[in-house]
């Protein structure tokens, strides 16, 4: 039987992996990481935060620039991180880029009492996208409201939209539980008591309402709620692997703020070596044909053990 989680014994997560894999990840230096790219898995490194977030914002512009009346194109974007969003609006306005035929998918949203939170909720992801990006775009350039797809607790229309419009790129960050969007590991219950779901089972998951791993709740309290766990919902609606595999490219942005030096090393190693385990959902991206990891180089930190 695999080990119990050292974080939450009732859940699967990366602490249930083979200890030798965890040890190998901990040994990786930034110089080692540079060598881990392969066909279908491309690594990018940035020395300044300005360059990092400008590159992320340019992915929006590059995707939207391809959109025409006959070939609408969109991008699926995250709320972690958010620093790219005002840059996107500034680039669109400066370039005079019309978004008439462009689309946008939000990756996820919080769920309370079975309903997606309203935009009035202080942690609303939809409101953050609107406030930091779309409401800052000039009126003459704005994206039609029907081209902005926000997931809800009843996500069937959202899922169908990925078959109606080409998603050029799905961006994401990496949480401390090694997810993209809120594709968290599973609870260790029922038929998943002794083993997590297979890759095939996990890859079939569409956009859905998910229970959140305790580490995800802790992370969001830290990054968005001043550490107050009580303000973070325990469920969210999340874009699924099913929709992710309809994106031409998956682009993950590692600023070093949402996950830690060990976590960034672990998922890079697993995808590079095609070690797939659903206790580390990010490792499933090893099966996607075009994955890009972007690193803020100083954010990679060190694996040296030191007291603070």
Q: What is the pLDDT of residues 140-193, one digit of tens each?
A: 999 999 999 999 999 999 999 999 999 999 999 999 999 999 999 999 999 999
User: Which parts of 7-48 fold into alpha helices (H)?
Assistant: 19-26, 30-34
Q: What is the DSSP letter of 187?
A: B
223 pLDDT tier (thresholds 50, 70, 90): confident
Q: Cβ distance 149 to 165 under 8 Å?
A: no
Q: Span 201-212, mean pLDDT? A: 98
80 pLDDT tier (thresholds 50, 70, 90): confident
Q: Span 279-283, mean pLDDT? A: 98
Q: Span 225-249, mean pLDDT? A: 95
- 305, part of any domain: no
247 pLDDT tier (thresholds 50, 70, 90): very high
Q: How far apart are CA 290 and CA 286, in angstroms?
A: 9
- 7, part of any domain: no
CATH at residue 189: 3.40.50.1360
Q: Span 36-62, mean pLDDT? A: 98
| Cα–Cα distance list, 19 to 16, 23, 193, 223, 305 (Å) | 8, 6, 20, 29, 18
Q: Span 96-112, mean pLDDT? A: 98
Residue 307 pLDDT greater than 80, yes or no:
no
Residue 305 pLDDT greater than 90, yes or no:
no
- 30, part of any domain: yes
Overall domain count for the chain: 1
Q: Residue 291: what pLDDT?
A: 98
Q: What percent of the chain has pLDDT over 90?
A: 94
Q: Cβ distance 219 to 26 under 8 Å?
A: no
Q: Residue 306: what pLDDT?
A: 78
The boundaries of the domain holding residue 158 are: 14-300
Kindly tell me the number of DSSP H helices and DSSP E strands found in the chain: 10, 11
Mean pLDDT (the chain) is 96
225 pLDDT tier (thresholds 50, 70, 90): confident
Q: Residue 43: what pLDDT?
A: 98
Q: Residue 304: what pLDDT?
A: 86
Q: Are strands 41-46 and 148-149 parallel, antiparallel or unpaired?
A: unpaired
Helix (H) or strand (E) holding 219: helix 214-224
- 4, part of any domain: no
- 112, part of any domain: yes
- 160, part of any domain: yes
Greater pLDDT, 105 or 257: 105
- 130, part of any domain: yes
Q: What percent of the chain has pLDDT over 70?
A: 100
Residue 265 pLDDT greater than 90, yes or no:
yes
- 228, part of any domain: yes
């Amino acid at each position: 039987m695999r080990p119990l989680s050292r974080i939450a014994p009732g859940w699967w997560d990366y602490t249930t992996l083979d200890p030798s894999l965890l040890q190998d990840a901990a040994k990786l230096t930034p110089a080692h990481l540079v060598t881990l790219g392969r066909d279908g898995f491309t690594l990018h490194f940035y020395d300044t935060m300005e360059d990092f977030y400008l590159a992320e914002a340019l992915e929006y512009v590059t995707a939207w620039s391809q959109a025409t009346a006959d070939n609408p194109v969109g991008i699926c974007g995250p709320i972690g991180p958010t620093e790219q969003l005002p840059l996107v609006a500034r680039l669109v306005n400066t370039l005079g880029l019309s978004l008439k035929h462009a689309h946008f998918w939000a990756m996820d949203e919080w769920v309370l009492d079975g309903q997606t939170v309203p935009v009035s909720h202080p942690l609303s992801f939809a409101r953050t996208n609107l406030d930091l990006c779309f409401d800052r775009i000039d009126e003459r350039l704005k994206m039609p409201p029907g081209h902005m797809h926000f997931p809800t607790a009843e996500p069937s229309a959202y899922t169908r939209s990925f078959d109606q419009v080409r998603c050029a790129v799905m961006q994401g960050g990496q949480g401390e539980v090694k997810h993209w969007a809120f594709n968290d590991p599973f609870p260790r219950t029922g038929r998943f008591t002794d083993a997590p779901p297979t890759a095939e089972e996990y890859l079939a998951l569409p956009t859905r309402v998910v229970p959140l791993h305790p580490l995800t709740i802790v992370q969001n309290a830290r990054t968005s709620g001043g550490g107050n766990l009580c303000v973070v919902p325990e469920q969210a609606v999340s874009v699924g692997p099913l929709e992710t595999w309809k994106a031409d490219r998956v682009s993950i942005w590692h600023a070093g703020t949402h996950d830690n030096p060990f976590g960034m090393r672990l998922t890079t190693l697993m995808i590079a070596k095609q070690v797939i385990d659903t206790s580390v959902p990010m490792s499933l991206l090893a099966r996607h044909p075009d994955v890009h990891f972007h690193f803020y180089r100083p954010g990679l930190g060190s694996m040296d053990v030191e007291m603070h």
